[in-house]
Structure 1
Amino acid sequence: MSEELQRRIDILEEEVATLKEAIQFLAFCKSTDRRFLFFDWIVKNNVLGERRVRFNRVLLTLSSRLERKPPRKRPAISGVSSELLYKEEAPTYSEAKLLLMQALETEADTIVEELIDAFAEQGIHTWIVSLRATEEESDPTSR
């Protein structure tokens, strides 16, 4: 590779990194429309690319389990416990939270709590909001 080509690649990589940083700052400083809290959460927590794919697969699988429709395919998802993800019975909120944390590669359960709050506010994925409410009713100290 020529020196000039490497220099141009380095410049482009720096510009991409700068743009990513600018987007993160914009996500935090803008006013969030309450109707789009989930999408705001996606940007603020950088759930894009492969993280987004893992996240969506886990969410879809959990929803299917809740509806008692086990997935025909059970692909391994990097960083996610297949044993827990593909259990036969409906998921508990604690299981769903743990699996989402694994998919998001985080140990901070507050990120998932913020996610569920965003779902509730936006009126989507209400099944997981209901799971949380059910767990809180049975154990008020669970949150």
Structure 2
Amino acid sequence: MIPAEGTSVRDQPPALARTLGYAGLLPQAAVVLVLGFGPAWWRFSALSLGYAYPALILSFVGGMWWGLAARSDRPPAWVWVAAVAPSLVALATAAPWAIGAAWPAPSLIVLGASLLGSLLVDRRLVADGLAPAWWMSLRLPLSVGLGLLTLASAVFG
């Protein structure tokens, strides 16, 4: 791919990362379609998968942040804390299901909002030089996409 005028190859995410990242939106998009238009007997499975997938991805995002911190000689302490928080949030959203409380809409809302909020950490990682220059060009559409699809699954669920 030829970079846009005024940008360099270093400003662009690797093509494979971009392709796989966007492909990662497909499972949640399928969930929303099933919830909106699928048969009633698929709803519980769709909701379960529609909860599990963003919870896993949120944990994965924290793992990426941990990896960025680990490759730095002197990462700020906040990065380690931020890197652990997504897994704890994902785990906490499982509690309502585990105890029979209202689920899944509240958990989906927390996960969707957390994915959207993760962009604040991503932006800071770039500003602090811990993430590559192209980081936000990939993280923005992926976090917004999965965050909004997760919120949509709460609405349709």
Q: Tell me which interval the TM-score lies in, with the shorter structure as reference length.
A: under 0.3
Higher Rg: 1
Please, what TM-score do these two structures have when normalized by structure 2? 0.26
The TM-score, its normalising length taken from structure 1, stands at 0.28
Relative contact order, higher structure (CA 8 A, sep 6+): 2
Q: Which has the higher helix share?
A: 2
